Amino acid sequence: MEFEGLGLEGQVALVTGGSRGIGRATTMRLARLGANVAVNYLKDEGAAEEVLKACAGLNVKALAVQADVSRVEDAERLVCRILEEFGRLDILVCNAGVWEGAAVDEMKEELWDRVLEINLKGTWTVCRAAVPAMKKRKSGRIVIVSSTAGQRGEAFVSNYAASKGGQISFMKSLASELASDAINVNAVAPGWVETEMCEGVFRDASYRKA
């Protein structure tokens, strides 16, 4: 199913974690709708280049930018690179994230911090960097990819659930804060999706059967 009347031709979209899974699918949909796209990735340059190749026949411009969104300076560099290349940023999809956990009494501080820094802090850093350009144009769309775990919790990944619940609260706050600048902020909360991040779960035959 295609979405008609969205008028994305000429607009510029940034998808963090855009080289795989939900991020890749989102990038490709935006490109098919006419948006120029920037694909953020952390390590897998090859996967990001594959997305660019897939966009090549869609009559849009595509750019891959490496950045660790948990770092403020990387987020700022990411957005600056996009503005240098395209001169604008209309759509931001905050998708970069990790899914790692443990029982609460066995979880190391490093694991708790890593998940919160990438999933929650990483959402803040990129929004912080992108919002000034959107305010200047008095127009923008921000979509945060959260999770049903952020709504109902999930055993053995309390860090992940906390990060995703935090994203939802952050989205609500940002939506109120930026409404007067005509910047729309929303979140989506997918359930289980068979992507590389969750491949271990989907290899479990008993889970698939359930």
The tokens describing 93, both together, are: 């999809």
Cβ atoms of 94 and 122 within 8 Å: the answer is yes
- In this predicted model, what pLDDT tens digit does every residue of 13-27 receive, in sequence order? 999 999 999 999 999
68 falls within a domain: yes
pLDDT of residue 191: 64
Q: Which residues are catalytic?
A: 160
Confidence of residue 82 (pLDDT cuts 50, 70, 90): very high
What total number of domains does the chain contain? 1
pLDDT beyond 80 at 36: yes
| Residue 10: partners with Cβ closer than 8 Å, 6 or more residues away | 34, 36
CATH of the domain at 151: 3.40.50.720
Q: In what order do the strands lie in the sheet with 62-66?
A: 62-66, 36-41, 12-15, 91-94, 140-145, 183-188
- Residues 147-179 pLDDT 10s: 888 688 889 999 999 999 999 999 999 999 999
pLDDT of 198: 43
Q: Is residue 2 part of a domain?
A: no
**Given a cut of 80, is residue 192 above it in pLDDT?**
no
Residue 181, H or E segment:
none
Residue 3 has pLDDT above 80, yes or no: no
Judge whether 5 lies within some domain.
Answer: no
**Do residues 115 and 101 touch, judged by C-beta distance below 8 A?**
yes
pTM of the model: 0.88
**Residue range 89-106: mean pLDDT, rounded:** 96
pLDDT of residue 209: 55
Domain range enclosing 135? 12-209
Residue 106: what pLDDT?
97
pLDDT at 4 exceeding the cut of 70: no
